[in-house]
Structure 1
Amino acid sequence: MFGDHRLEIKSLEQVRAMRVAGLVVGRTLERLRAAVRPGVTTAYLDALAEETIRDQGAVPSFLGYGEPPFPGSICTSVNDQVVHGIPGAQVLAEGDLVSIDCGAIVDGWHGDAAITVAVGEVRPDVAELMRVTEESLWRGLASARLGGRVGDISHAIESYVNDQADGTEYGIVEGYTGHGIGSSMHMEPDVPNYGRAGRGPRLKPGLALAVEPMVTLGTFETDVANDQWTVVTSDGSWAAHYEHTFALTENGAWVLTAEDGGRARLAELGAPYGGED
């Protein structure tokens, strides 16, 4: 199962098993998106996520993960929190921004994805931050071609963020990256959100990656809060975070955490679709 550079190369049957976990994650995130509104606590979202994951016959990936053990089934990162925010008593307010990261395990296989959701109406620059970050994710996914390199994904994300014509200078977080995924949640290789094309491990059938751009309205620099988990921007600027798990098949990319497998967006970007549904 392991190939060059100790990368886990999955069989098509194993990718299909990951698709089951990916759909659990995708459906859970859509339920959470619909539940976000002013007055809701992040603890409520966490309880809803755990219920939704377990009702689908899956186990939350994040609960108890790491050291100290992560106490939630999802990460909820609000405003200047970039990633790994701990759900709790925080009440979401009109105009806030909340990034929700979710992982699930089915029969030993992992899915991992994230969305950023506006709480009511947000400022125009915040709405644009969300758009740019999500689009950079899809540009990265669409750049993944058989025979290419992991750096092609990184370069596509960075290029899209930096090429925006409205004059905004966005920060691309450097201390945290995407990653390989499969029989574990975090595996080799790292998938940075910046870098040169043509570098890194080769993209081949059976390789599964979680791609997750984290973009800010200010600095790329971050700090870790006293809870030892929550990552915040060093300058207090707001951040957005989007993520999908995808695998490469002989036909192209299959976005395992997207309901349609990524078919529509990949087609819009001229990329081959490698899914079966």
Structure 2
Amino acid sequence: MKQSKPTTGLCRYTDDQVFYRDKNLVEDLLDGSHGFVEVMIAHILNRDLTEHEIRVFNTILITMMEHGLTPSSIAARSVYMSAPENLQGAIAAGLLAVGSQFVGTIENNARLLARLVPLEGADREREAEAIVAEHRSRRTHIPGYGHHLHRPDDPRSIRLLELGEESQGPRHYLNSLKLLGEVIDRSFGRHMTINATGACAALMGDMDVPPEVMRGIAVIARSAGLVAHISEELERPSGRYIWEVVSDAIPFEV
């Protein structure tokens, strides 16, 4: 069967007009009343946002923007040290570290929560127990839970979950996140914090953001943080120092 010709609904332009989806860029969006986050998320999701959703997305992006000297920022600083003429290359290198261990866990957590959302009562709890059992049998971390620093609770998550509770919309993902956390605590016999990526996954899930798109939202936020790291690298360079520390700390051994 012949494949139909692809189309796009994102942008079009004429000699004197530019449109973002159905919005006239100059007349509708550049009037000073629309913020970047509002326009960006509406462009991605193809729908208008409520005031509460705009507030939540702002909070999510701010939360995910900066994580200190983690693999992504170290990679960005290192590449910039090697190729200072290529800032975008340094940012791209840092974004390649947004994966299944750091930041990208937001998508992994959302996929687990999506298994719980359609269920109710005992069925939902049994599925949560199955998720925990699967990860324990493989001896793998459960994405969205636990943190090497923030204990007993992640302060970022506390605030994010408070915002979720203020929503007048559905809380299926939020409730699933909390239930899975309770099952994890019971299974391990100790409290394991809901971390920021888990909280962000639940909030975005309840705003109908597809799990496949959530990592993209994280990439947008992380990009801003990486630009800040490169900006600091110009004034307080650490790329070469990191290189030398690693070189000295790891000896050659046959």
Which TM-score bucket, shorter chain as reference?
under 0.3
Could you say which structure has the higher helix fraction? 2
The higher relative CO (CA closer than 8 Å, separation ≥ 6) is in: 2
Q: Over alpha carbons, which structure has the higher Rg?
A: 2
Q: TM-score of the superposition, structure 2-length normalised?
A: 0.27
Could you say which structure has the higher strand fraction? 1
